[in-house]
Structure 1
């Protein structure tokens, strides 16, 4: 009888929650109407982060603090979709880690558009077919995704945010039987990140490259002698069985993704700015470009170089720094930096990601 009484109380609370969600959605619609009148962006990422941060800080009960973010991500996503679903292009097909990053950041009510290449992601945003694009930029084990960096040379799109995703690989097949595996498909990065496990468990099995981990999973649906290294999301999407989980060599295997759009967000006070530039070829040139940041006490979080592809041995540098373009210290440092550069391009200022999705 006591359990029945307690369950009845839970039912009453659940009914209140549903009613309050309806009230919240009504207010979101009204805000959307006011934004339309003022010609303002519907999606304000810094506002969403403020909501989650405030609620996590206010949480005093037994509800786990780490669960606040995923719960309210879906609430915010569903309420936003009442106005119009946020549309996002990503490196497909369904089931890639980029797809997983999209759902973890924007929730299940967003409209996801899978495309074939990183170039296609940029193109969809540039044409205005979607609000944002999501592209991989670097992995903690395998380093930078050079094609993504190269795309920024000619694109006017801005980096609007970043997503840090804990990447865990699984070996998938139709049968779920390790003994039946005669070939393995996956993306080259997934093979590299699972090298030790493969050498220990399937040393003689040939490896075949696929355009993505999800494409590898799709190939396996047609071949019962094959396996794929992919995500568990791919297993559910392509009706495959998991042979082995967490086969990556490094337990802290994190991939960073960039959210790209046509304009960047306002300062939040916890931001990062990404730059690209080329420098004059002279003695001490690299020291000269780092000096302005030291002078204004700006922390550099990433330095990367790529061939310019216009002249032999000429390089383009990519920097991530702490701070927003609107900050006076950042403005002053960039003014000094520009004096030493052949060209300088700000790729965007955006909120720093502190939490790692998994």
Structure 2
């Protein structure tokens, strides 16, 4: 028996299973449409991050294999995205142009059945979301190598929006050109954060080539696609989109480099069962002020997962402190702890409660 004869019954099984999957997908979509009709009656939001987080966690818990749970979650993310789009396509603002890591984060959070709005700056993402042009915005908030994205922190302080989700993605920078070589290259373009994350590698391999900071790595890839004398540092997706050749892959100094992103909008998610709350506060300028401010978290058994200080540019205090804690603000112990923190703070702002990233 030849190979084709052996494969024929297996392929027939796959075809039959595919037909079942297609039927079940459309059955799910019809139920999702009914959910949409109920939501429309009460003007409920199309996207519920806490519900989708619960579905994805349950999928991972129930997965018997051999498929990897992370891969199964990606499949279900796209299923939910497509079903959600039957109600209405969610619009999401991101740092463009196409091919940036921020765009990649958008698809990881919302799936591909959305309408993306490319923005030239983090400020524009906030403006588009505040104006209602976009339902949500996705902004970088922290990098494992370079630390906090200060512009995002400053804008979170000022905005009327809140954080409704977070996610973290690996950041693999590639050096790319039109030709796939460095012949004739006179400048290397990238976002300032990317240049900093690749500084040691660039110093070692191309110390004499000019480095130009641009609005985003996607913009760098676009420039390199049009200028044969320009190289770009960007992700693989950007390289494919702009038909660039990779001179050297993974040129970031830290092989474990990751960037954390925040989803901003007017939606305030309900508790999902595994949540995080973000806040920012300032303290009076006196000894022990920060310690005393954080004491309510310990006394109420609330775990702090992040603590970041930022010099204050306005007000009478010297620093703002950005803090993440485990739990939702509607959780009683978190609520009581934050009320005490607020009472003792010179400045206090709740930034959002949202599901932990998967």
Q: TM-score, normalised by structure 2?
A: 0.95
Instruction: Give 2:245's aligned residue.
Output: 241
Contact residue 200 and residue 253 of structure 2 kept, 8 A = yes
Matched, 1:32 2:71: no
Matched, 1:342 2:342: no
Instruction: Give 1:12's aligned residue.
Output: 16
Contact residue 46 and residue 88 of structure 2 kept, 8 A = no
3-state SS of paired residue (1:242): strand
Moved over 6 A (4+): none
Instruction: Give 2:192's aligned residue.
Output: 188
What's the CA shift for 1:311?
Answer: 4.7
Matched, 1:118 2:122: yes
What's the CA shift for 1:213?
Answer: 0.6
Instruction: Give 2:212's aligned residue.
Output: 208
- Structure 1 residues 1-358: aligned runs within 5 Å: 1-311=5-315, 314-353=318-357, 355=358
Measure the CA separation in 1 of the matches of 2:107 and 2:56: 17
3-state SS of paired residue (1:99): helix
Q: Check 1:257–1:61 CA distance in 2 against 1; reply closer, same or farther (3 A cut).
A: closer
Measure the CA separation in 1 of the matches of 2:255 and 2:178: 26
Measure the CA separation in 1 of the matches of 2:282 and 2:64: 51
Contact residue 138 and residue 261 of structure 2 kept, 8 A = yes
Q: TM-score, normalised by structure 1?
A: 0.95
Contact residue 53 and residue 272 of structure 2 kept, 8 A = no
Is the deviation greater in 303-312 or in 195-204?
Answer: 303-312
3-state SS of paired residue (2:165): strand
What's the CA shift for 1:313?
Answer: 5.9
Q: For structure 1, list consecutive stretches of 5 or more residues without a partner in the other structure.
A: none
3-state SS of paired residue (1:13): helix
Cα deviation code 1:1-54 (max 9, x no counterpart): 221111111111112211211111111111100111122122111211222222
Cα deviation code 1:138-176 (max 9, x no counterpart): 100000011111112221111001010111001111000
3-state SS of paired residue (1:152): helix
Q: Check 1:27–1:311 CA distance in 2 against 1; reply closer, same or farther (3 A cut).
A: closer
3-state SS of paired residue (2:347): strand
3-state SS of paired residue (1:273): strand
Q: For structure 2, list consecutive stretches of 5 or more residues without a partner in the other structure.
A: none
What's the CA shift for 1:180?
Answer: 4.0
Q: Report the RMSD for the aligned CA atoms in angstroms.
A: 1.5
What's the CA shift for 1:127?
Answer: 1.6
Contact residue 51 and residue 272 of structure 2 kept, 8 A = no
What's the CA shift for 1:241?
Answer: 1.1
Q: Check 1:49–1:310 CA distance in 2 against 1; reply closer, same or farther (3 A cut).
A: closer
Measure the CA separation in 2 of the matches of 1:65 and 1:304: 32
Measure the CA separation in 1 of the matches of 2:233 and 2:250: 10
3-state SS of paired residue (1:207): strand
What's the CA shift for 1:178?
Answer: 3.2
3-state SS of paired residue (2:137): strand
Q: Check 1:311–1:65 CA distance in 2 against 1; reply closer, same or farther (3 A cut).
A: closer
